[in-house]
A and B are shown apart, each in its own frame.
Chain A
Amino acid sequence: MALQFTLNGKTVEFGGEARTTLADCLRHHLGQTGTHVGCEHGVCGACTVIVDGEAVRSCLMLAVQAEGSQVTTVEGLSEGEDLSPLQAAFRKHHALQCGFCTPGILTTAHALLTHEPDADEERIRHVLSGNICRCTGYLPIIEAILDARAAYADGRRGKPA
């Protein structure tokens, strides 16, 4: 297998086995370890990445299925060392503790707010049901996402002001 896709704006190549999941391709072949792998069967949400604008579980997708796609991982959410407004809201609200689930929650919330900048608390809770966090009790995460909505209004797509 030899294929290309775009990862966080740069073209990357993958030449591994067809059975490789996108999650393992990102971590082991491309060295992008921001994407965390929890359950490896689509339950925990930790490995969530954004493929062609949509949040998906990268453990439930083969790397070959990403051929030609635009893939965004947590590494691609901010430019340089500065936190994105969403990430800054997570820091402000203490929306993480151990941080294992955080990359999957950030990518999920980024995709959600990009599509639905006015998502209400109920919608955010509904969407977050696909991500397991064992530290925070979720409430600070919901507060952070609600707070970050302003950065997605008026087509800003989560960019710093």
Chain B
Amino acid sequence: MKLSRLEYARPASVAEAIELLQGTEGAKIIAGGQSLIPVLAFRLAAPPLLVDIGKLDDLRGTETTPAGTRLGARVRWCEIERDAALRRAQPLLAAMTDHVAHYQVRNRGTVGGSLAHADPAAEMPGVAVACEAIMHVAGPAGSRDVRSEDFFEGPLQTVLAEDELLVGLTLPPWPPGRRWAFEEFALRRGDFALAGVAVHYGRDAEGRMHDVRVGAIGAGETPLRLRAVEAELEGRKIGETLISSAAKLAAASVDPMNDLHADAEYRRALVATLFERAMLRAEHRQEEGENGPAVHP
């Protein structure tokens, strides 16, 4: 369908964007538009005003310091794909990005857009939660930081107020030697995942895991962190029996939805399978070398 009638504004600063949001009830931020425009085309939303942050260059760029990696809200998937230093600094982010949408969408879609859109099957929100990222939010009263676990409230719902905008996020520093994997299953490559699992953990010389983090997407109303599974793995040596029992626990810990594409039972089984795959991939990671997945130019 064609989009509903709307006004369009392209502010020159974050402050101006917030003023525009305050001035029109129901106004929406647009960046890459790769999630928002389909919503408008289906007329699931008809905002009277689109505030295009596409010229706000201070929302671009990434910076890795000892305090972590800060990504501007406007960082695009194709930029993560090409940034070898970023991929080394945040290997789980890199592994996840390889699953996001298709070539053309990756050229416009943004990290901030995916987070603010908050599709429970989207990859970026899952990785934000699994990495305990901090969201940076700007509003009329100034800036505030929100823990990623508190950011997502439900399908397509976040704690962002009508007059607030996400300006970026910070992923915690990635300790050397950490193991990671991101596994998802989609009906066609680049489609939304039916479910996905992210794991990362440290591993001592004897093979005992520590600081285990497990996240799941497409498995609830928001991206989930599977704390029971983390607790099950913490301090133990990885092995077939443990992976298998933890996979059962992972399936029991999620609350997937029934929809056109898959029923809840199927998604629950997928979470178990994907968790097993993720643990095996993470454990065998060393063979792939330190740099993680391949970088496209």
Contacts and interface: CB of A to CB of B under 8 A. Distances in A.
B38 A54 contact: no
A41 B7 CA distance: 20
Contacts, number: 86
B38 A18 contact: no
A89 interface: no
B54 to A, nearest CB: 6
A64 interface: yes
B296 interface: yes
B107 A56 contact: yes
Nearest to A130: B102
Interface string B69-102: 0000000001000000000000000000000011
A130 B8 contact: no
A106 interface: no
Most chain B beta-carbon neighbours within 10 Å: one of A19, A24, A127: A19
A54 B7 CA distance: 27
Contact of B3 (A19, A65, A115, A123): A19
B5 A45 contact: no
B230 to A, nearest CB: 32
B67 to A, nearest CB: 32
Interface in A99-128: 108, 112, 115-116, 123, 126-127
B8 A60 contact: no
Interface in A1-60: 1, 17-19, 21, 24, 40-42, 45, 48, 54-57, 59-60
B34 A42 contact: yes
B289 interface: no
Chain B binding surface SS class: loop
A88 interface: no
Most chain B beta-carbon neighbours within 10 Å: one of A1, A41, A57, A112: A57
B241 interface: no
Given A60-B34, A130-B101, 4 more contacts: A19-B40, A45-B104, A59-B41, A130-B103
Interface of A: 1, 17-19, 21, 24, 40-42, 45, 48, 54-57, 59-62, 64-65, 108, 112, 115-116, 123, 126-127, 129-130
16 contacts: A21-B37, A40-B1, A55-B107, A56-B104, A57-B105, A59-B37, A60-B34, A60-B37, A60-B105, A64-B52, A65-B52, A108-B103, A126-B103, A129-B103, A129-B189, A129-B190
Interface of B: 1-8, 10, 30, 33-34, 37-38, 40-42, 50, 52, 54, 78, 101-105, 107-108, 188-190, 296-297
